[in-house]
Chain A
Amino acid sequence: MKNRIFATIALSFLAGSVVAATEAEYKAAVADAKAEQKKAAELRHEWTTVAKFLKSADKAAKAGKFEQAVSLAQKAKQHAELGQFQAQEQKDAGPRF
């Protein structure tokens, strides 16, 4: 019986620490994505997908689905970086008649 109680306590601590770590990861992923989003916006090459992914990430986080939320925040970051890459690629854009 004692062992079972210890096991339950140990498991709940473990579960708690996993959730806490994932939430922290989510917050870090969002901060990263927002920093890249800001850079893309300054270059006038932000994609609308960035805000959409961040909104979905927020929704997932509020539902406690941190793994999904982290994944969505990472997608937002990726799209923000792609916008910056696009800005660099297109800086000398001109007509192709």
Chain B
Amino acid sequence: MKPVIALAAALLATAVQASPEQDISEFQAYYEKRFPAFSLNEYVDGAYILPVYADGRAQWEEVEEFPPYEANVEAGETLWNQSFANGKMYADCFTAPLEKIRASHPYFDEATQQVVTLEYALNNCRKENGEKPLKWKKGPIADLSAFLAWQSRGQKIDVKIESEGARKAYEEGKQFFYAKRGQLNMSCADCHVYNAGNKARSEVLSPALGHVSHWPVYRAKWSELGTLHRRYGGCNKNIRATPQKAQSEAYRNLEFFHTAMSNGLEFNGPGYRK
């Protein structure tokens, strides 16, 4: 009897839950309605597309002409071409061609039942080849990520949620995104969906659509390049929530959902932000 009840409950839950396709469609339609002047792909430039940021955009465009992350891309290329102690290289760990590596992450790995982000894959590669893993938030891992992002510029974001395991990870990421947390009782969505384009003190809240397209980012605030999970941690701290660890399952699932919401937009990393 019990399995029947469990099956019925599971079916009911599936019936109630929106599919990822529905979620993506509603998410993108929300922004189209909120800011009708912009096409979807313009969101890859974040808050700089908004009229409230008109002055900031000119400055940002100037910075992007001679971007501060150029040296990081070069450093990343050098690291990419270095051999490990066993003679193998990063390229040996990836099946996709160089220009598609960034664009093929994050993905759900059926063997480990885990979401694999680009940085997670890079460190897995190191571990498999007997190398010490790199620190997650900045430094060499961000450089490697910047090099691969540069190669994938113009590729479409296309997160696939095709199995039960992937769906579970996606739903966990979705719950994390919409759940209010921290002493300020705010969710990712409270700022970056419902209040996108509004100001929090002097800063314009960026739209969540297109958020993931341009990482790693050289932030003026950091005066260096950092990864997406470094930013997740900073965002959580802003609302007085203790951050999760970079590349923890919670943040990888969040990235999985967050990236899926921008399916169809183009990767344009690395980027520069205030």
Seen from chain A, the residues whose Cβ lies within 8 Å of a Cβ on chain B are 41, 44-51, 79, 82-83, 86-87, 89-97
A47-B182, A47-B183, A48-B183 given; A95·B240 CB < 8 A? no
B176 near A44 (CB under 8 angstroms)?
Answer: yes
Interface centre among B26, B189, B241 (most CB of A within 10 A): B241
A90 near B242 (CB under 8 angstroms)?
Answer: no
* In the complex, chain B residues whose CB is within 8 Å of the CB of A44: 176, 181, 244, 250
Partner of B182, one of A48, A51, A92, A93: A48
Q: How large is the interface on B (under 10, 10 to 19, 20 to 34, 35 or more residues)?
A: 20 to 34
The total number of A-B Cβ pairs within 8 Å is: 61
- Minimum CB–CB distance for B262 against chain A, Å: 15
- Bound-state CA distance A89–B174 (Å) is 16
| B14-71 at interface with A (beta carbon < 8 Å) | 23, 26-27, 30
B175 within 8 A of A: yes
Partner of A93, one of B23, B30, B187: B187
Partner of A97, one of B26, B182, B183: B26
A47 near B23 (CB under 8 angstroms)?
Answer: no
A95-B23, A95-B26, A96-B194 given; A49·B183 CB < 8 A? yes
B178 within 8 A of A: yes
- Minimum CB–CB distance for A27 against chain B, Å: 23
- Bound-state CA distance A86–B187 (Å) is 11
- Minimum CB–CB distance for B95 against chain A, Å: 33
Of all chain B residues, the one with the shortest Cβ separation from A51 is: B242
* In the complex, chain B residues whose CB is within 8 Å of the CB of A89: 180
B193 within 8 A of A: yes
